[in-house]
A and B are shown apart, each in its own frame.
Chain A
């Protein structure tokens, strides 16, 4: 999975009907110091993450393994809200 921070939300009324009712969050990846990196993804939120929260995202077909994204055209999902990240001292 990748570690990222929710930095925004995408609202889209005209879309594939299977995507009705799903929330699309903009998630920017973070580095080891939790600074934002340039690359981001649009992820369906399956756990109710809020703006600014640190989250874990799963990408690829794994993203369809949640109750709300099963059999839907979704390739990235927020599947956990992060409480804490510990990096071991090298």
Chain B
């Protein structure tokens, strides 16, 4: 998993049927302490009702479909939790 900040949202009505109702958020991956951005933004499906500015952690690759328990969920990134605090 990785940490990211929610920096935007994507609206898509025309999509795979099993993605119906999913929210897509734009994430800026952050390095371990959650302070500095690292790399390009990605788009992730949201399973945790995240909102703008939230710091979240997300899962990638095929596991990104597991929070949604549907059949044809071609997703490679999904928010799976909110970050309360990071102790290093």
Contact = CB atoms under 8 A, between A and B. Distances in A.
Given A62-B62, A83-B13, A85-B10, 16 more contacts: A1-B42, A1-B43, A1-B75, A46-B74, A62-B65, A65-B62, A65-B65, A65-B73, A66-B16, A66-B72, A79-B19, A81-B12, A82-B12, A83-B14, A85-B9, A86-B10
Interface of B: 6-16, 19, 24, 26, 40-44, 52-53, 60-62, 64-65, 71-77
Contacts, number: 104
Interface of A: 1-3, 29, 31-32, 46-48, 56, 58-67, 69-70, 77, 79-88, 90
A73 B61 CA distance: 16
B8 A80 contact: no
Contacts of A1: 24, 42-44, 75-77
B72 A67 contact: yes
A79 B8 contact: no
